[in-house]
Amino acid sequence: MQKHPRHRLARAYYLGPRSYFLTICTSQRRKLFTDQRLVELLVNELAQFLSQGFSIYANCFMPDHCHVLAVAMTDTSDLAKAVRAFKGASAAHVRSLGIRNLWQRDYYDHILRSSESFDAAAAYIFENPVRSGLASDAHDWPFRGSFVFDWKKCSSGFTPLLFGSAAPVVVPAALCHSSGAPAV
């Protein structure tokens, strides 16, 4: 079995107050997240992040992966521990639905820099179903949300996207900005 190259930074980068854009994929990229009941269960399990000192600024469940914009709020916040808690608790709960091996072993993370906007990262997450051709409008996709702000009010104004996309996304910064999200 071939070992994957290490793609994590030193552990210190995952401790304390920082902001993370996460992508967590299903095992074998199975398209499991089309079932409303399953996604609701997983959104409830995002509370595992809250118990580890994180706030969930944005989330979106696509058919075979989810995106989470998590903000560590305390000096003791530990991203690896929070992701482990979320994946473990959610995998245990979905077994009651007959689903085994829910998650891929690893996940992808991007630490937001101080120059990167929370609103732009949230817009990127909310617009993912549109970019993927799953919805014509982000508001049409039922599997996204925020624990911090009312994302449904985000409908006008432009904020540039992160991660190399050339297209702007419609998001009003005044409605979507959260004073609870620290600038890091």
The pTM is what?
A: 0.79
Distance CA 108, CA 25 (A): 9
Distance CA 165, CA 162 (A): 7
Each residue's pLDDT tens digit, 103-158: 999 899 888 887 777 778 888 898 899 999 999 888 889 999 888 777 666 653 33
Q: Give the distance, in angstroms, between the CA of residue 153 and the centroid of all CA atoms in the same chain.
A: 19
Distance CA 101, CA 97 (A): 12
Find out whether 129 and 64 touch, Cβ atoms under 8 Å. Answer: no
Each residue's pLDDT tens digit, 42-86: 999 998 899 889 989 899 999 999 999 998 888 889 999 999 999
